[in-house]
Structure 1
Amino acid sequence: MSFNFISPPEPDSNRKLVWLFVAIALYLGVLFLPTPTGLTASGQVALGLLVFVIVLWISECVSPATSAILLVGFAVLGLMGKPLRAGGPPMNSTAALTSMLTGFSSTAVLLVAAALFLAVALKLTGLDRRVALLVMSKVGISRSRLILGAMLVGFVLALFIPSATARVGAVIPIMAGIVAALGLPAASSLGATLMIVTAAACSVFNMAVKTGAAQNIISLNFMQQSFGHTVTWGGWFVTALPFTIGMCVVLYVAALLILRPDVPAKEEAEARLREELAKLGPVSAVEWRLMSVALLLLVLWSTEGMLHPFDTTTTTQLGIALLLMPRIGVMHWAQAEKLIPWGTVVLFAAGISLGTLMSTTGAAAWLAQATLGQLGLGALPVFMVVGALSLFSIVLHLGFASATGLASTLIPIMIAFANTLPYGRETAFGIVLIQSFVVSFGFVLPTNAPQNMLCYGTGSFTIAQFAKVGTVVTIAGLLLIVLLSATVWPMMGVL
């Protein structure tokens, strides 16, 4: 951060400072309120911290990493002198800090960090660009084929790249190149369609692949803590498969009918794709090594719990170790560490710490009962409960720019509420698992997800165009969740 002591501060800086003071004021306001019945003093601090970080995340007045550091600091100040659990000893600063560092020792954080190294390897070798160009060149040039090609690229990259931002960042230049090769402006109907589909498909495949997004890992971490078991890579994929297929169909039809992309003669675009592929040259030795490791990881992930006893984190760590080894690997630590978004890792760990604190202090259970518990959902069939909770999540997501932040906030509350329902723990687990899919519903506004903003930054579409497609996809997605919760998922043993 740089400081200018001569020129007056930028208006945006003033706005950010105001929001930071608002967040601090709300945190202190919660702390000084009378402690509600059924809530511990440390639980009240946890709720204050929740309000604090929600304001930081929604306003984006500080960077994600800074919000994590502020969260830990204010947590220590608030928790000192209070017992972590009812009847426990009061905490000193060391004990309070220790309670907020639990997330940093989570295997989920290790998995996210390792997966980001995999994304960097794909970027350094150029394999992500080769895969995207190869898929688009094979699919062909027409309205329907281009939409299907953009979705297929998103799916293939989601299998190997856990960062939505990295995936979309690799695809945007290729989609823009296709539009330019066809002699169309970036803001043409085809340009708008390809960019909107790229962003929306990224959110869809975040839900399809366990390792496709950090919010999946953070959700499963909370579920492991509460229920004592998790979901394998293959189990997640199979569970999400009917929903993913349905969402792809909805996105395809919505993009085709609402945006109505125009595609002129295809020869020039096909020649452009062949030219770009030719520039990459033959597949290099490092690309072959990376493909071998990536395919090995995909096999190990998909056979977790069936052919071997290693979990996703362990196998990913082994894969990254191979990629960093001399001669066998494809990169050096010095290359990779400069490209890793360490702030994301810090935010992820702090989010887990906050969720754990809310569960440990009973704040999540109290908040779930004070909000969702007042709706009388326990008397409804399971599929209606899932629909109501999904609608609650979707509306809440409208104010969030980070699905990771939303998962940190929402999933502990969903777990606490699901455990109060009269359906049994396995059904409660399934309800929360479905909500971990819904956390990735960032379809309505460009500000709902970083990948949306990347695509919006190309100038290819308007907010209105994005919202039209996104609203249709969101409503159809909600209806699809209710339908699957009443039919397919109970037959699969999810509910």
Structure 2
Amino acid sequence: MPSLRAYWRYLAPLMIILLLVLLPVPQGLAPHAWLFFAVFMGVIVGLILEPIPGAVVAMVGIAIIAILSPWLLFSPQQLAQGGFKFTGKALSWAVSGFSNSVIWLIFAAFMFGTGYEKTGLGRRIALMLVKKMGHKTLFLGYAVMLSELLLAPVTPSNSARGAGIIYPIIRNLPPLYDSQPNSSSARSIGSYIMWVGITADCVTSSIFLTAMAPNLLLIGLMKGAAGFSLSWGNWFLGMLPLSIALVLLVPWLTYVLSPPVLKAGTQVPAWASNELVAMGPLSSKEKRMLVLMVGALLLWIFAGDYVDAAMVGYSIVAIMLVTKIITWDDIISNKAAWSVFFWLASLITLATGLNDTGFIPWFGKMLAHKLTDYSPSLVMMALIVMFYLLRYFFASATAYTSALAPMMIAAAVALPAIPLPSFCLMVGAAIGLGSILTPYATGPSPIYYGSGYLPTADYWRLGAIFGVIFLLLLLITGFFWMPIILL
């Protein structure tokens, strides 16, 4: 029988909806837009508490709005013009997110990740780096970072990448030097490796558009609210200086702030070498996978003006099926991909509805009116800092992005002096980088936190230090580089 706490998680979203519905409609906002917002906030609370899977929460929200569309989705003027013949329009709105190219890009990227996992190419890359660089602890940190970096563009789930590929490899490394979890020997080398692991996951999640599903959710929100989006190449080039700085900085900074006792050794390269021998030589499927991934990355970076990124992904998946790198069963059995596919499409639909009903423009104008007396640069900085620090209050990157990103975009749209492309990229980078702040911020965080090598005090201390450094570097590149490259 469900506990009282379980019932509370079911009731809380409904109570939020009811509370907002009973409040007076804010001045200047249409009643149907306020009712839509009430259901939207109920969905956000549902995503945070997850009484049922997140995709189901979003779909229930859409179903409620579509069924009650004459009161939640359409204005009285629209009803007067068309009567109540809105059944077809409501359904078209409800499924509109599934036609968004962002949805198909993220789905294709999940299939790339399946190919990496099924062929063993992802694991081989990580083991090869560990073998080559693992003789010194500092270099081992860079091997972990580079492994994440090479896998991130084609692994849109940071949990699958960090907790599913990298963590199972690096958790075997500390015991090779008798560095055991939950003991005094944890700091020998284990604490260093684990902190680099979770930090690398957060950093690479921000470097590439396809490295984390909420990044693509943000692109969908931008397109709905502002009428434009960032391409894969725009995102990559806009992040380039910050990416280089973070990739070079993180292993060294961890080496300084959480210094390992053991500085060098031969056990890790020997272990990695044995694992590679067990895997055997590079298979034909791995070779085909490697060629396809390099081709996809080149097209994403250099051909964005000619070929849609989602079309590239769709075509590569078709080739992967024909060349038997993956099978149709691999696609239909990939629960993670289908789950993200449905919740991302549903959340984009809901966020687009916020804009279509007029809530986002109203909120943006209201916020802009209060901020007009301040310089655009100061406003931009304040919004990014606020968005970044609010990460402390969310245990889900999806809920965090869904709840706050539309408001950030609305404020920027209403203030023309703010360079919208660079501002939105800064918001996107903050989603990944801010995940370092807490041990519950993103999927892999609890895995690394629970490894026994990162005590609570160390995690919060390092999270705060790295979080501040990441934020400062983000602001610097956001003001001085991104506006130039994203003109």
Normalising by the residue count of structure 1, what TM-score does the alignment of the two structures yield? 0.90
Aligned letter for 1:220?
A: I
Aligned letter for 2:426?
A: I
In structure 1, how many angstroms separate the alpha carbons of the residues matched to 2:475 and 2:375? 11
> Can you list the C-alpha shifts for 1:11-70, whole angstroms capped at 9, x where unaligned?
xx4313202201101112212222221111221122212321222222233221221222
The corresponding residue for 1:196 is: 195
The corresponding residue for 1:433 is: 425
Aligned letter for 1:321?
A: A
Cα displacement (A) at 1:222? 2.6
Give the secondary structure class of the aligned counterpart of 1:351.
Answer: helix
Cα displacement (A) at 1:232? 2.7
- Conserved? CA contact 2:131–2:269, under 8 Å: yes
Identity of aligned residues (%): 25
- Conserved? CA contact 2:13–2:43, under 8 Å: yes
Q: In the alignment, does 2:339 pair up with 1:343?
A: yes
- Conserved? CA contact 2:44–2:402, under 8 Å: no
The corresponding residue for 1:311 is: 308
- Conserved? CA contact 1:250–1:473, under 8 Å: no
In structure 1, how many angstroms separate the alpha carbons of the residues matched to 2:328 and 2:390? 39
- Conserved? CA contact 1:57–1:64, under 8 Å: yes
The corresponding residue for 1:487 is: 480
The corresponding residue for 1:106 is: 100
Give the secondary structure class of the aligned counterpart of 1:419.
Answer: helix
Cα displacement (A) at 1:87? 2.3
- Conserved? CA contact 2:36–2:73, under 8 Å: no
User: In the TM superposition, what are the counterparts of 1:75-224 in structure 2 within 5 Å?
Assistant: 75-82=65-72, 84-85=74-75, 87-89=77-79, 92=86, 94-168=88-162, 169-187=164-182, 188-189=186-187, 190-224=189-223
Cα displacement (A) at 1:239? 0.6
Aligned letter for 1:418?
A: A
The 1:180/1:138 distance shift into structure 2, 3 A limit, reads same
- Conserved? CA contact 2:65–2:73, under 8 Å: no
Deviates more, 1:174-183 or 1:264-273: 264-273
Cα displacement (A) at 1:237? 0.9
Q: In the alignment, does 2:266 pair up with 1:267?
A: yes
In structure 1, how many angstroms separate the alpha carbons of the residues matched to 2:117 and 2:167? 14
Q: In the alignment, does 2:348 pair up with 1:355?
A: no
Q: 1:364 aligns with which of 348, 353, 360?
A: 360
Cα displacement (A) at 1:318? 0.5
- Conserved? CA contact 1:16–1:60, under 8 Å: no
Cα displacement (A) at 1:332? 0.9
The 1:485/1:271 distance shift into structure 2, 3 A limit, reads closer
The corresponding residue for 1:393 is: 387
> Can you list the C-alpha shifts for 1:316-354, whole angstroms capped at 9, x where unaligned?
0000001111xx231211133223412221111111011
Q: In the alignment, does 2:4 pair up with 1:14?
A: yes
In structure 2, how many angstroms separate the alpha carbons of the residues matched to 1:101 and 1:70? 13
**Structure 2 regions of 5+ residues with no counterpart?**
none
The corresponding residue for 1:61 is: 51
The 1:73/1:469 distance shift into structure 2, 3 A limit, reads same
The 1:254/1:77 distance shift into structure 2, 3 A limit, reads farther
Cα displacement (A) at 1:227? 4.1
Q: In the alignment, does 2:73 pair up with 1:71?
A: no
Aligned letter for 2:69?
A: L
Structure ranking higher in helix proportion: 2
Give the secondary structure class of the aligned counterpart of 1:416.
Answer: helix
Cα displacement (A) at 1:157? 0.7
- Conserved? CA contact 1:254–1:469, under 8 Å: no
Aligned letter for 1:428?
A: L
User: In the TM superposition, what are the counterparts of 1:278-297 in structure 2 within 5 Å?
Assistant: 278-297=277-296
- Conserved? CA contact 1:159–1:211, under 8 Å: yes
Aligned letter for 1:346?
A: F
Aligned letter for 1:235?
A: N
Deviates more, 1:378-387 or 1:30-39: 378-387
In structure 1, how many angstroms separate the alpha carbons of the residues matched to 2:446 and 2:462? 15
User: In the TM superposition, what are the counterparts of 1:296-335 in structure 2 within 5 Å?
Assistant: 296-305=295-304, 309-325=306-322, 328-335=323-330
**Structure 1 regions of 5+ residues with no counterpart?**
1-7
- Conserved? CA contact 2:360–2:410, under 8 Å: yes
User: In the TM superposition, what are the counterparts of 1:42-53 in structure 2 within 5 Å?
Assistant: 42-53=32-43
In structure 1, how many angstroms separate the alpha carbons of the residues matched to 2:68 and 2:462? 44
Normalising by the residue count of structure 2, what TM-score does the alignment of the two structures yield? 0.91
In structure 2, how many angstroms separate the alpha carbons of the residues matched to 1:336 and 1:459? 35
The 1:446/1:369 distance shift into structure 2, 3 A limit, reads farther
The 1:46/1:263 distance shift into structure 2, 3 A limit, reads farther
Give the secondary structure class of the aligned counterpart of 1:87.
Answer: helix
Cα displacement (A) at 1:477? 1.9
How many residues align? The count is 476
The corresponding residue for 2:23 is: 33
Deviates more, 1:56-65 or 1:248-257: 248-257
In structure 2, how many angstroms separate the alpha carbons of the residues matched to 1:337 and 1:396? 37
The 1:286/1:357 distance shift into structure 2, 3 A limit, reads same
In structure 2, how many angstroms separate the alpha carbons of the residues matched to 1:150 and 1:103? 36
The corresponding residue for 2:229 is: 230
Deviates more, 1:156-165 or 1:477-486: 477-486
Give the secondary structure class of the aligned counterpart of 1:448.
Answer: coil
CA RMSD of the aligned region, Å?
2.3
- Conserved? CA contact 1:386–1:485, under 8 Å: no
- Conserved? CA contact 1:120–1:340, under 8 Å: no
Give the secondary structure class of the aligned counterpart of 1:81.
Answer: helix
The 1:224/1:249 distance shift into structure 2, 3 A limit, reads same
In structure 2, how many angstroms separate the alpha carbons of the residues matched to 1:46 and 1:117? 34
In structure 2, how many angstroms separate the alpha carbons of the residues matched to 1:74 and 1:174? 45
Aligned letter for 1:347?
A: W
- Conserved? CA contact 1:58–1:399, under 8 Å: no
In structure 2, how many angstroms separate the alpha carbons of the residues matched to 1:382 and 1:241? 24
In structure 1, how many angstroms separate the alpha carbons of the residues matched to 2:200 and 2:92? 39
Deviates more, 1:482-491 or 1:427-436: 482-491
Give the secondary structure class of the aligned counterpart of 1:445.
Answer: coil
> Can you list the C-alpha shifts for 1:447-478, whole angstroms capped at 9, x where unaligned?
11012123234333233222211111211122
Deviates more, 1:160-169 or 1:453-462: 453-462
In structure 1, how many angstroms separate the alpha carbons of the residues matched to 2:453 and 2:60? 36
